């Protein structure tokens, strides 16, 4: 399910409007994921997962920055996310289902904060984008 030119346009335009808030949204998406899908916490036994945790905030920023990088490299996603692909395949080994859960919670976060900008076409493009990022991150798993 490749990104069309229209998808890329939708994703870039939407992401640009988020500005510096991406880090806050990254964190909120993680908080929602941990609360709604408690099994996802099994990947973070070394984290303080209580509300307001600095570790969760730092991780939320990390995730947001990686997505921002992805948005600026929509034409060569596998190459630009190559080191993250390696990391997830050989070290982190996060089961692929979890990317769907985080992507969903990120969409919920974006809908909550930017309902006016998340029309159905943009929603579809973002869903495709996140799905594509997830498939790149798991591409070296086996």
CB of 21 to other proteins, least distance (A): 14
Q: Is 31 in the site for other proteins (CB under 8 A)?
A: yes
Neighbours of 9 (CB within 10 A): 14
Q: Is 119 in the site for other proteins (CB under 8 A)?
A: yes
Neighbours of 45 (CB within 10 A): 7
Which region, judged by CB under 8 A, interacts with other proteins, from 58-66, 78-86, 118-126, 134-142?
Answer: 118-126
The nearer residue to other proteins, 45 or 120, going by C-beta atoms, is 120
Q: Is 121 in the site for other proteins (CB under 8 A)?
A: yes
Torsional sign, CA 64, 108, 50, 34: negative
């Amino acid at each position: 399910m490749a990104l069309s030119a229209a998808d890329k346009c939708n994703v870039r335009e939407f992401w640009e409007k988020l500005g510096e808030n991406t880090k806050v949204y990254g964190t909120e998406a993680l908080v929602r994921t941990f609360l709604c899908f408690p099994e996802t916490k099994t990947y973070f036994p070394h984290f303080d997962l209580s509300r307001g945790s600095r570790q969760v905030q730092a991780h939320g920023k990390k995730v947001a920055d990686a997505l921002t990088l992805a948005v600026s490299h929509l034409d060569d996603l596998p190459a630009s996310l190559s080191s993250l692909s390696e990391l997830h395949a050989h070290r982190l080994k996060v089961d692929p289902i979890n990317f769907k859960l985080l992507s969903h919670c990120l969409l919920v976060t974006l809908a909550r904060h930017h309902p006016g900008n998340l029309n159905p076409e943009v929603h579809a493009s973002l869903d495709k984008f996140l799905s594509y990022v997830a498939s790149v991150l798991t591409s070296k798993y086996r």
